[in-house]
A = this chain, B = another copy of it.
Amino acid sequence: MAIITLTTDFGSTAGYVAQMKAVLLRRSPDSVLVDITHDVPPQNTTAAAIWLADTLPWFPSGSVHLAVIDPGVGTSRKILVGRFECPNQSGINDQHFIVGPDNGLFSLLNIVDAWHLDETAMRTVRNVSNTFHGRDLMAPAAAAIAGGIPLSELGERRIDPVRFPLPKPEHRSDAPAGSTEIRGKVLYADSFGNLITNIHSADYPSGHTITEAWIDCPKESTPILARPVATYGDATPGELVVLWGSGGRVEFAVCNGNAAERLALDVYGADSRSLPSLTLRLDDSTDRRDAP
């Protein structure tokens, strides 16, 4: 019994996701299929890469992860089959398998082995469409991996997969002594309208107490202040707060409200330079007690 997860930008209408599941169940009848999300904004590989990195490591070792956000389908872009490692809660390294277009979708994971899929060998179906390799090539590859076929048998040649960088936080040199000042970016808004940033607790081992935070809004002349709290419930309804979220990232939230709507921020721009900016001060003197 292998777990196969699915992540796409196909939405919930028509039958595209179900067609992939049908192919998986034909070829790997005992697999357990789990949806990550099918509501990645269309063609938005950046949002998908973040959501995959924040979610896939929670699954058991040996899981197979199929992700199809594939604007280049049918062109010269190749299909990636690979393996990433990540330490689990016991500190042991889990192994996960990945299948998807080689377009950076898995950029934020620690890929230790990657191959370009031998598409000819996978073309066991009579017709491979030009527009749906998720169903016709990647789902068969995922089912093969779930069935124990080694990557080296599926792959054409070992590769260094396409990666794209996320915008990195910048440290401000003019921060007061004993504190760290960071300029970051809002990466995406979740379903609650919480604004998730590129500032991750793993990068700040020396202290996690947020002392001040503000966010730039195109529609406002001055940055908007947010009050640091430990959890949503510490805020008063309607208040804009900032906290360490469950994925280890700093996030901005409106208690019982929607921060993305409140601040009228567009966080799904194709160009990551257009993502909203924020500034954060951390108190260096605190220990990790407040860490998420």
Residues of A whose CB lies within 8 Å of any CB of B are 1, 3, 5, 9-16, 18-19, 21-23, 25-26, 29, 32-40, 42-43, 51-52, 54-55, 58-60, 71-75, 77, 89, 124-127, 129-132, 135-136, 188, 190-192, 196, 230-234, 243-246, 255-256, 258, 270, 291-292
Contacts and interface: CB of A to CB of B under 8 A. Distances in A.
A130 B230 contact: yes
Contact of A73 (B34, B59, B188, B231): B231
A39 B12 contact: yes
Interface of A is mostly: loop
Q: Shortest 4 CB-CB distances between A and B: which pairs?
A: A11-B191, A74-B231, A15-B55, A132-B246
13 contacts: A12-B12, A14-B37, A15-B51, A16-B190, A23-B58, A42-B256, A58-B135, A74-B231, A74-B233, A130-B230, A131-B246, A131-B292, A132-B246
Contacts of A34: 18, 21-22, 25, 33
A39 to B, nearest CB: 5
A127 B291 contact: yes
A128 to B, nearest CB: 9
A102 to B, nearest CB: 13
A25 to B, nearest CB: 6
B54 A15 contact: yes
Contacts of A23: 58
Query: Which of A16, A35, A37, A130 has most chain B Cβ within 10 Å?
Result: A130
Contact of A32 (B5, B25, B26): B25
Query: Which of A14, A59, A244 has most chain B Cβ within 10 Å?
Result: A14
Contacts of A33: 34
A22 to B, nearest CB: 4
Contacts of A14: 37, 51, 54-55, 188, 190-191, 196
B12 A191 contact: yes
